[in-house]
Amino acid sequence: MKLAVVGATGLVGTEMLNVLAQRDFPFDELLPVASARSVGKTIEFKGKAYPIISMEDAIAAQPDVAIFSAGGSTSLEYAPKFAEVGTFVVDNSSAWRMNPANKLVVPEINARVLTEEDKIIANPNCSTIQMVVALAPLHQKYQVKRVVVSTYQSVTGSGKAAVDQLMNERSEQEGDKVYPHPIDMNVLPHIDVFFDNGYTKEEMKMVNETKKIFGDDSIQVTATAVRVPAVGGHSEAVNVEFAQDFDLDEVRELLANTPGVVVQDDVKNNVYPMPIWAHQKDEVFVGRLRRDETQPNTLNMWVVSDNLRKGAATNAVQIAEYLVENNLIKSAVMG
Ligand code: A2P
C-alpha cells in the first residue's frame, strides 16, 4: 500500500498527516508531494523524516491512493495522471465535485456509491460537510425541505497565507494580503469569487453540493458565507424546514446517537459549540437547538467543526479508509 499526500506542506496537508498518524492508517510507503519549491526538503511523520518528492516522481511510483490538497488547478492537471496509473485520488479541491462522472462523498452519508471505477473521488467543501453531517440523521427522519444557512468561517480555510495575514495584522506587521480587506477586527461577507447572481462560489457550493451528497435535488439551500477572524473551525447558523414535524428531544437524541456528531447544548451552563473547542477534533458539534417559532416544522441549530479536520483531512482519510476496508484497493491489506 503506497500512499501519496499531495500538498503535504500546506495547512490541510499537514492536518492530513496528523489524521493519518492518529487513525493509524495502514500503509507501507508514504510519499509526501509538494511544489518544486519544497522538493528535497523533508517532513516528519510519526517521528521519521520523509523527503518531499515532485508530482512526476509520485506518479511514477504508482501509489494506490493519493490524497490531494494542492488547489483546484493542480488537481485538474494532475489527478487524471494519477488515475491513469491506477491510483485512487481523493481530491480536496472543488475541481471535480460537481462533475457528474465524479462521486462527492461524505462517508457517513453516501460512501456506498463508491466503486473501484471511481478513480477521482471528490471531498466536499468544508462548510457543506459539517452542515450535511448534522442534517443527515434529521433528513432521514423528517425530510429536509429548505435550509437557510449563514457561515462564520475560519481563516484556516484560505490556507497558510491567510493565517499569516490575520496574525500580521494583529501584531501590526507588514505582509502579503490574501483578503481584499483587513480580516483582524473585521468580518468579510465574501468567500471565493462572486457570480452574476450575486452569490459567491462558496455559497453556491453549499447549495449544489448538499443536493448531490443527499442525491435529492428537491432540497433547497440558500447561504451567506462569511469570513471571520477565527482559526479553530467554521461555525454555521442553520435554519432548517422539514416536511414533517419533529420533537426537539427526539432531534437531540437523533443527533447524539449519530457517529461523528457531538451535541453541546446546555445553555444554562453556557455550553454551546465554539471553534476553540472544535479545534483539532474530528467531530461535528451541534448546539443551540431550538424551534423556529415563526414557521411550522422548522429548527434552528448552531454547527461547528474544525474545517481542516472533518471539513477536509478527516473526511478525505475516511474515504481512503472506506476504499481499503471495502477491498476497492486491490493491493491493500488491512491490518
Ligand atoms: P508548497 O509548500 O511547496 O508551495 P496551502 O493551501 O496551505 O497554502 O497549501 C498548498 C499546498 O499545495 C502546499 O503543500 C503546496 O506546496 C502545494 N502545492 C501548490 N502548488 C503545487 C504544485 N503545482 N504541485 C504540487 N504541490 C503544490
- In this prediction, residue 170 carries a pLDDT of 97
Q: Is 71 in the pocket of ligand 1 (CB under 6 A)?
A: yes
Average pLDDT over all residues of the chain: 97
Catalytic residue selected from 181, 190, 234, 279 = 234
Scan for cell 467554521, then name that residue.
Answer: 234
Q: Where in the chain is the domain with CATH 3.30.360.10?
A: 127-307
Scan for cell 451567506, then name that residue.
Answer: 224
Contact 201, 195 (CB under 8 A): yes
Q: Which atom of ligand 1 is nearest to the CA of 38?
A: 3
Residue with the smallest CA separation from ligand 1 atom 17 is: 7
Q: Is 14 in the pocket of ligand 1 (CB under 6 A)?
A: no
What's the mean pLDDT in 67-86? 98
Q: Each residue of 96-118: pLDDT tens digit?
A: 999 999 999 999 999 999 999 99
Contact 99, 91 (CB under 8 A): no
Integer Cα distance of 318 and 129 in angstroms:
13
Integer Cα distance of 150 and 140 in angstroms:
23
Q: Where in the chain is the domain with CATH 3.40.50.720?
A: 2-124+312-325
Q: Each residue of 228-252: pLDDT tens digit?
A: 999 999 999 999 999 999 999 999 9
Of the options 3.40.50.300, 3.30.70.2190, 3.30.360.10, 3.40.50.620, the CATH number for the domain spanning 127-307: 3.30.360.10
Three cell numbers at 128?
457543506
Q: Is 157 in the pocket of ligand 1 (CB under 6 A)?
A: no
Scan for cell 492536518, then name that residue.
Answer: 15
- In this prediction, residue 334 carries a pLDDT of 43
* Res. 330 pLDDT band, cuts 50 70 90: confident
234 belongs to the catalytic site = yes
Fold adopted by 2-124+312-325: Rossmann fold (3.40.50)
Query: Is residue 42 within a helix (H) or strand (E), and if so which, with residue range?
Result: strand 42-45
Residue 210 in 3-state DSSP? helix
- Which burial class, exposed, middle or buried, applies to 123 when counting CB atoms under 10 A from its CB (0-12, 13-18, 19+)? buried
What's the mean pLDDT in 167-183? 97
In eight-state DSSP terms, residue 309 is I
Query: Is residue 128 within a helix (H) or strand (E), and if so which, with residue range?
Result: helix 126-142
- Is the model's pLDDT at 332 over the cut of 70? no
- In this prediction, residue 163 carries a pLDDT of 97
Catalytic residue selected from 126, 139, 181, 279 = 126
- In this prediction, residue 75 carries a pLDDT of 98
- Is the model's pLDDT at 309 over the cut of 70? yes
Give percent above pLDDT 90 in the chain.
98
User: What sign has the CA pseudo-torsion 189, 181, 201, 108?
Assistant: negative
- In this prediction, residue 331 carries a pLDDT of 59
Integer Cα distance of 120 and 96 in angstroms:
8
Q: Which atom of ligand 1 is nearest to the CA of 6?
A: 26
* Region of residue 253 (left: phi > 0; alpha: psi -120 to 50; beta: else): alpha
Q: Is 7 in the pocket of ligand 1 (CB under 6 A)?
A: yes
Contact 6, 33 (CB under 8 A): yes
